[in-house]
Structure 1
Amino acid sequence: MSAEYIAKNEASLLEELFSVRERFCNESEACTTQDCPEGLAVLRVCPGMTLEAWEILAERHGLNDWLTLPLDRNATPHLRHVQQVLEELSFKTEHDPLTGLSNRRVFERVLDQEMERSRRNKTPMSLAILDIDNFKSINDTWGHLKGDEVLIDFAEMLSHSSRRYDLVARIGGEEFAVIFSGVGIFKAQQLVQRLLENTRLLSFSTPDSKNKFSVTCSAGLVAYKGLVESSMNNIIDKADKALYEAKKTGKDKVCTAEVLDFSAVNKETLVHANEKKFLFTGN
């Protein structure tokens, strides 16, 4: 029934819906803002339309800004469809479409939250930025489809190799980030080394399936304990510079940035030492 309806009505229905959208959404005196308090509804009766047919048409032609409701049947399935569309749109705004990992927007939000937790509780957190080595040559040699396969498998490896409560995100073309919650620099180094080891185990077939190839990645790592004030951009910049150092000095390795809280740690250590000296010597 859905296929029959689509075959018979698709062309004329699309022409009408697109013309209505063009007429009202591009006119200067109508739909001028997204939060128009009066609102505007355009109704079009579609005899014979089923929810299944509408789902196909909406997905095929980007019509999810239209709402369908039956005039003589239960509206619940149609409202569930709207809810599903909203959930999918929400997911897409926060996830990378290729790998399914969190995107840059989520990465920055979580990093800001973790830094604030560190400042408040004086607990550590670490950030690793990882970049697949020589990725351009993969695209140039084997094609972008093979490059996408490498990105997808690498992202899956990162997700499976990281702890459940750490955030893994794709923040650039072949650049990924892992936020290690509650982890200092030494433990973070061990975790990142494991990610590099698991990267070396990945294996890919060439497009003609005659040969295999592997990949490596480099990583820059920075830790923060909230003892000094620092911005999100500053911690990202330090991780980026450490990544650059790893690339420059041979790739397939992790380099660590200077400790952000170094001066505060030294000051805190000196205070404790002076307190102990006073307790035992009175001076």
Structure 2
Amino acid sequence: MNAEYIAENESCLLEEMLSIRDLFCTSDQIVNGMVQQKAMGILRLCPGMTLEAWEILAQQHGLNDWITVPVDEDALPHLRHVQSVLAKLSYETEHDPLTGLSNRRVFERILDQEIERSQRGKTSVSLAILDLDNFKAVNDTYGHLKGDEVLIDLADLISRNSRRYDLVSRIGGEEFAVIISGVGIFKAEQMLDRLLAQIRELEFSTPDGTEKFGISCSAGVTSYKGLVEIKPHELIDEADKALYEAKNAGKDCVMTADPVDLQAVTKQTLVHANEKKFLFTGK
């Protein structure tokens, strides 16, 4: 019944629905952008249509944001369908579609929360930013599909080698970030050294299958102990600076930036910088 209904009615239904969507749902003022406070739903009766048939059409033609309601049946399956669509949309707004990692929006929100937690408890949090070395050459030499495979496998390796309560995010094209809770700069550096060693062991086949090639990453790491007030972008800037140093040092290595607290306190007091560094990092 579902297949027969779709076969008989798909063409005319889609023509009508897609024309309605193009007419009413592409303006900056309505629906998709949710700019206006007022909105109106448009009802279209579809005799013979079932929820199962609609799900097929919606999936194939990008109509998952349309809401269906039964005329004379139990509404519960339709409400569950709406709930599942909302859950999927919520997931997609917070995750990178290629790797499945958290995206930059989630990264910035969690980093802000970790900084606040550090300030309250005076506990350490470290931030590592990793950048895949010479990624453009991978795309140019082996194609974008192979480049996507590299990113997916790299993301999986970083996730598998991070603790369950740390956050791994893809924050740029070939750039990843790891928020390492409860860990200072010295241990964070050790963790990143081990991670980079495992990245070097990754192997990929060329598209024709005749050769193998490997990859490497550069990483910048900094940390924070909650002793001074900072904003998330300050921690990100310090990790970025350390990453830039790693690139300039020949890539495929980890560089650290002094903890943000250490930098601030050094400017405010006369205690010797080396003594402060020992207090903050144990080195």
Query: Which range moved further: 69-78 or 87-96?
Result: 69-78
- Name the CA shift for 1:41/1:150 in 2 (closer, same or farther; >3 Å): same
Q: Which amino acid aligns with 2:80?
A: R
Deviations 1:73-130 (A, max 9, x none): 2221111111100000000000000000000000000111111111121111000000
Q: Give the corresponding residue for 1:264.
A: 265
1:160 positional shift: 0.5
- Aligned positions of 1:188-203 closer than 5 A: 188-203=188-203
State how far apart, in whole Å, the 2-side matches of 1:32 and 1:159 are.
Answer: 33
SS at match of 2:126: strand
Aligned to 1:43: 43
The 5-angstrom pairing of residues 22-41 of structure 1 reads: 22-25=22-25, 34=34, 39-41=39-41
Q: Provide the aligned C-alpha RMSD in A.
A: 2.5
Determine the C-alpha separation between the residues in 2 that align with 1:32 and 1:91. Answer: 17
Q: One-letter code of the match for 1:151?
A: L
Separation in structure 2 between the aligned mates of residue 72 and residue 170 of structure 1, nearest angstrom: 46
Unaligned runs of 5+ in 1: 274-283
The CA distance in 2 between the partners of 1:83 and 1:239, in whole Å, is 39
How big is each residue's C-alpha offset from its partner over 1:11-59, in whole Å with a ceiling of 9 and x where there is no partner?
1111212333345457899879837666422221111111111111111
Alpha-carbon distance in 1 for matches of 2:86, 2:98: 20
- For 2:30 and 2:98, locate their aligned partners in 1 and report how far apart those are by CA, in whole Å: 37
Counterpart residue type for residue 94 of structure 1: E
Alignment partners' CA distance in 1, 2:227 and 2:253:
28
* Cα offsets for 1:135-187 (capped at 9, x unmatched): 11000000000000000000000111000000000000000000001110111
Structure 1 stretch 193-202 or stretch 121-130: which is displaced more?
Answer: 193-202
Which residue matches 1:164? 164
User: For residue 14 of structure 1, what is the aligned residue in structure 2?
Assistant: 14
Aligned length: 271
Measure, in 2, the Cα distance between the counterparts of 1:164 and 1:32.
35
Aligned residue type for 2:177: A
Q: Give the distance between the partners of 2:171 and 2:33, measured in 1 at CA.
A: 31
1:100-119 alignment runs, 5 A limit: 100-119=100-119
- CA separation in 2, counterparts of 1:237 and 1:5? 57
Q: Residue 31 of structure 1 contacts residue 40 of structure 1 at CA under 8 Å; is this kept in 2?
A: no
Task: Name the residue aligned to 2:151.
Answer: 151
Indicate the residue corresponding to 2:278 in structure 1: none
In structure 2, C-alpha distance between the alignment counterparts of 1:30 and 1:87, rounded to whole Å: 22
Matched letter for residue 225 of structure 1 = K
| Post-superposition CA distance 1:61-81 (Å, at most 9, x none) | 111222112222222111111
Amino acid at match of 2:20: V
- Structure-1 separation of matches of 2:60 and 2:203: 35
- Return the alpha-carbon distance in structure 1 between the equivalents of residues 29 and 167 of structure 2: 45
Distance 1:217 1:73 in 2: 57
| TM-score under structure 2 length normalisation | 0.88
**What is the aligned partner in structure 2 of residue 71 from structure 1?**
71
Cα distance in 2 for residues equivalent to 1:30 and 1:258: 48
Extract unaligned runs of 5+ from structure 2: 276-283
Q: Is the 8 A contact 1:94 1:102 kept in 2?
A: yes
CA distance in 2, matches of 1:237, 1:60: 43
Q: Match for 2:240: what amino acid?
A: D
Distance in 1 (CA, whole Å) between partners of 2:224 and 2:28 is: 51
Task: Point out the structure with max Rg over C-alpha.
Answer: 1
Secondary structure of 2:260's match? coil
Quote how far apart the aligned CAs of 1:2 are: 2.2
| Amino-acid identity (%) | 63
Summarize the Cα distance change of 1:56–1:261 in structure 2 as closer, same or farther, 3 Å threshold: same
